[in-house]
Amino acid sequence: MEKTKIAVLVSGGGTNLQALIDAQTNGILQNGEIALVLSGNRNAYALERAAKAGIDTEIVVKKECADQAEFEQKMIAALEMYNIDLIVLAGFMNILSADFTGRYSERIINVHPSLIPSFCGKGFYGLRVHEAALSYGVKVTGATVHFVNEIPDGGRIIAQKAVAIQKGDTPEILQKRVMEEAEWILLPQAVEEVSAAIRKGETV
C-alpha cells in the first residue's frame, strides 16, 4: 500500500515543518510522506523550506477569500488534488470550522506548546502560552500533539512530552526549549504513528 499522504499547513517560519522534513530524510517518518505544504501566507518562510526539500506548495490566503466557506473550499480542493490522507497543522494561524474538522475527523493533528489542558484553547498560541506558564509559576510545561476538532485544542491527545521550567526563563527562552526538547521530537513521532495507523486502517 502507498504511504500516507501528508499535507502540512503553515503560516510562518516553518520550524515544525523542518522537523518533519528532517524526520522524512532521517527515516523516522517511514509510513507517511509530505506531499504538500499549504500556506495561509504568501510570505511564509516555510514555503522556502518546502521548495528546498522539493515538496509541492499551494497558497490559500483567507483575506483574499469572500468568507470562511470559500477559504476552506479552496483548501479542500488543494488537499483533494494531492489525495491527502493526513493534515498536520504546523503554526497554521487560521481557525478551522466544524464543517472542515468534521470532514477530516481524526485526520488533522496539531502540536500545542503546553501540556493540555493547561494554557490552551482560544487565544493561547505562540509566546502567549509560555508567558502564561511563567506568570502562573508552573514548574513543568511541555508540548502536546492532539487531533483537531471544532474546539480549539480540544481534540483527543495523541502524545505529550514534559519540559522543565528553569530559573531565569523568559517566554522566548522557554519557547525555544519546548521546541527543541518536545515539539520537534514529539510531532514527527506522532505523525509516523498516525500515518502507520492510517495505512493499516486502524485507529490511534
Residue boundaries of the structural domains of the chain: 4-200
The answer to whether residue 134 scores a pLDDT higher than 80 is: yes
Closest by Cα among 106, 110, 97 to 20 = 110
Q: What are the pLDDT digits (tens) for 148-167?
A: 999 999 999 999 999 999 99
Would you give the distance in Å from CA 64 to the centre of its chain?
A: 23
Residue 168 burial (CB count, 10 A): 6
pLDDT digits (tens, 9 = 90+) for 81-93: 999 999 999 989 8
Q: What are the phi and psi torsion angles at 55 (to 5°)?
A: -100, 135
Class of 4-200 in CATH? alpha beta
Task: Reply yes or no on whether 112 is catalytic.
Answer: yes
Tell me the C-alpha distance between 101 and 9, whole Å. 14
Q: Give dist(CA 73, CA 57) in Å, integer.
A: 17
Percent helix, strand, coil in the chain, to 5, is 40, 20, 40
Indicate which residue of 5, 74, 112, 130 is catalytic: 112
In the prediction, which pLDDT does 203 show? 83
